[in-house]
Structure 1
């Protein structure tokens, strides 16, 4: 169907006359009254229910269904179907490495399918239309408001939701599942109070007296591993691997002649020329792991906080206001070789400030 109209027919209509128009007539009249001229308008499928139209509907419905399944799969993976906790290589379940790629890929696939489905709906099923528009100013009167309402109803009828139940159902499924994703991600993690339960305490880490200190691959750390001025990220040696995100620790070997001005009560936390601080920045929880040997400063790359190691990791620049917590160090002999162990846990909660921090 091609439609062409004269100049501004909607402007001569009264509100009563406008109310008598069909939705499509109101849409066309309202468009022209608003300076929009529909040059060409044609239904994609003039005869409803043809095989070609059904085929297009099924294709779009399949795209929406894939988006629905991807969103459901995201929720299932996020809720624990795939482990996300790091495990020692060769010891624990290594499928944790697939967690982040899976949730990212599934969420992207769901969003892409919903977007592609909507675009295909517009290109394959909505009427083909060309229009031009004049610029204009001024408020709309009652007649124009009625015509706009007719335009909205006509647009809804063009979608064909009333007779395309398959598309309506699959779009509702995909949109509904996709809408649950932020709720699961944002609300799901808050169901359990974070400072209660094993591995969830905000006040303690897995370090305890005599706990071996290891590298990420599980190897034990010894005093001879680092050169003066060296730094390494270490963890508590928990069987099966570290599961707590608050455990990463920076082990630093001072250069000759350097000494740390220790905080009160922490004078014996070092061992020889080694000191250890939490890697978690006290501002926003980023890894403060960039070390300048010449200045003795640890830098956080997120917001540029700097901590002076020789002042016991005191913040000297940036938004951080608290020193990095310090881990007490000791060594033990194993098969004639020294290895680091923790004297105990950090004396204070690590990471950013929170409402219950004393």
Structure 2
């Protein structure tokens, strides 16, 4: 049955009774409702007046294919999120982790693009072609209005073809399910794995296997050159790292480790640190420290707190202007930071060349950087 309407006008639609509306077909009740609401259907044509033709089936399969591709891309996103390697590896070792983020981005793009293409093709190829002009009005709704609105909604559902196009309905359901599952997996999936105590340790943790017999980790500069007391002038500051690396696929490197940048500061003559409780002997020498070491990572937002004012003995973070008083064990005295910079227990050992070099006597005793949800 054709539903072509080149020009439609309904006179006195407000006088149509509810019984008359109920007796009308959904199409006629919808058109009557449009006229009553000031919407004049200028042109309306079913794209496939004869239902079930090969041409219609061909278009239906094309639309379903786009939804199917969208669904497959969503499933691919979830599989890639779970299965692809993402851990960073040292240069010179397998770098397949670098494909993780591009793969997720590409699959997400394919899912959204084909979902959009499918919806556009569905509207352009399958739903009726229609032109309408609407008048504005502020009249309250009558019972007839409600019945005609109901008919309009039902007619709209019929226009989509969903009740009789099971292939599109199923493929759209799959694509919609993937579209809903992908953000859920992305947002919740990263929280599934318990980080354990990883956030409380850095590569300064003693390692007797690599550094027998006591496991103290040597302190080096960015070139892996060992650092000793003679490398700093009074009032000087130096960024140092744990001198530890293992060059394999799952290796580690103290220079590239984001949690380990540390500042060693040599106090000026006459300066003395008022240590926090339990940290009195963590500098060098232990009885009257001339050298102290603090995490370089600001406890507010993780920026490098590396600007040192010798005259005021304060460390400044350039991002949000937090200031830490070195002579009070890096206590925050200005800005948004609310926690002292963690202090590294510092010691010296004599190297094979007879010179003294700094070592970390232990790891940091508190988590470095900004606060996180389960910090005690």
Partner of residue 29, structure 1: 32
How far, CA to CA, are the matches of 1:160 and 1:146 in structure 2?
22
- Asked if structure 1 preserves the Cα contact closer than 8 Å seen for 2:115 and 2:175, the reply is yes
Secondary structure of the 2:9 match is coil
Q: Residues 206 and 30 of structure 1: is their aligned pair in 2 closer, same or farther, counting only changes over 3 Å?
A: farther
How far 1:74 sits from its partner (Å)? 1.2
- Asked if structure 1 preserves the Cα contact closer than 8 Å seen for 2:238 and 2:265, the reply is yes
Partner of residue 5, structure 2: 2
1:215-234 deviations in Å (ceiling 9; x for gaps): 89xx63543999966657x5
How far 1:75 sits from its partner (Å)? 0.9
How far 1:15 sits from its partner (Å)? 2.1
How far, CA to CA, are the matches of 2:12 and 2:358 in structure 1?
88
How far, CA to CA, are the matches of 2:12 and 2:33 in structure 1?
8
How far 1:20 sits from its partner (Å)? 2.4
Partner of residue 342, structure 2: 325
How far, CA to CA, are the matches of 2:75 and 2:364 in structure 1?
40
How far, CA to CA, are the matches of 1:84 and 1:211 in structure 2?
28
- For the pair shown, which has the larger CA radius of gyration, 1 or 2? 2
Of 356, 363, 366, the match for 1:348:
366
How far, CA to CA, are the matches of 1:9 and 1:341 in structure 2?
94
- Asked if structure 2 preserves the Cα contact closer than 8 Å seen for 1:223 and 1:339, the reply is yes
How far 1:238 sits from its partner (Å)? 5.5
How far, CA to CA, are the matches of 1:30 and 1:106 in structure 2?
44
How far, CA to CA, are the matches of 1:8 and 1:255 in structure 2?
94
How far, CA to CA, are the matches of 1:67 and 1:160 in structure 2?
20
How far, CA to CA, are the matches of 1:331 and 1:113 in structure 2?
63
Partner of residue 207, structure 1: 204
Q: Residues 15 and 100 of structure 1: is their aligned pair in 2 closer, same or farther, counting only changes over 3 Å?
A: same
How far, CA to CA, are the matches of 1:100 and 1:13 in structure 2?
61
Relative to the length of structure 2, the TM-score reads 0.75
How far 1:167 sits from its partner (Å)? 1.6
How far 1:131 sits from its partner (Å)? 1.3
Partner of residue 322, structure 2: 306
Secondary structure of the 1:74 match is helix
**Greater shift in the superposed pair: 318-327 or 12-21:** 318-327
The residue correspondences of 1:124-135 to structure 2 (distance < 5 A) are 124-135=125-136
Partner of residue 84, structure 1: 86
- Asked if structure 2 preserves the Cα contact closer than 8 Å seen for 1:8 and 1:34, the reply is no
How far, CA to CA, are the matches of 1:38 and 1:145 in structure 2?
19
Q: Residues 97 and 90 of structure 1: is their aligned pair in 2 closer, same or farther, counting only changes over 3 Å?
A: same
How far, CA to CA, are the matches of 1:97 and 1:213 in structure 2?
30
Secondary structure of the 1:249 match is coil
How far, CA to CA, are the matches of 2:164 and 2:275 in structure 1?
76
Q: Residues 155 and 266 of structure 1: is their aligned pair in 2 closer, same or farther, counting only changes over 3 Å?
A: same
Of 262, 266, 289, the match for 2:279:
266
Q: Residues 175 and 49 of structure 1: is their aligned pair in 2 closer, same or farther, counting only changes over 3 Å?
A: same
Gaps of 5+ in 2: 207-215, 285-289
How far 1:208 sits from its partner (Å)? 0.9
Of 56, 63, 85, the match for 1:53:
56
Q: Residues 194 and 6 of structure 1: is their aligned pair in 2 closer, same or farther, counting only changes over 3 Å?
A: same
The residue correspondences of 1:220-239 to structure 2 (distance < 5 A) are 220=224, 222-223=226-227, 231=239, 234=241, 237=244, 239=246
How far 1:330 sits from its partner (Å)? 4.7
**Cα RMSD (Å):** 3.7
1:199-244 deviations in Å (ceiling 9; x for gaps): x54444453122456789xx63543999966657x56836333499
How far 1:82 sits from its partner (Å)? 1.4
Tell me the number of residue pairs that the alignment of Structure 1 and Structure 2 aligns: 343
Partner of residue 288, structure 1: 303
The residue correspondences of 1:84-233 to structure 2 (distance < 5 A) are 84-91=86-93, 93-195=94-196, 200-209=197-206, 210-211=216-217, 220=224, 222-223=226-227, 231=239
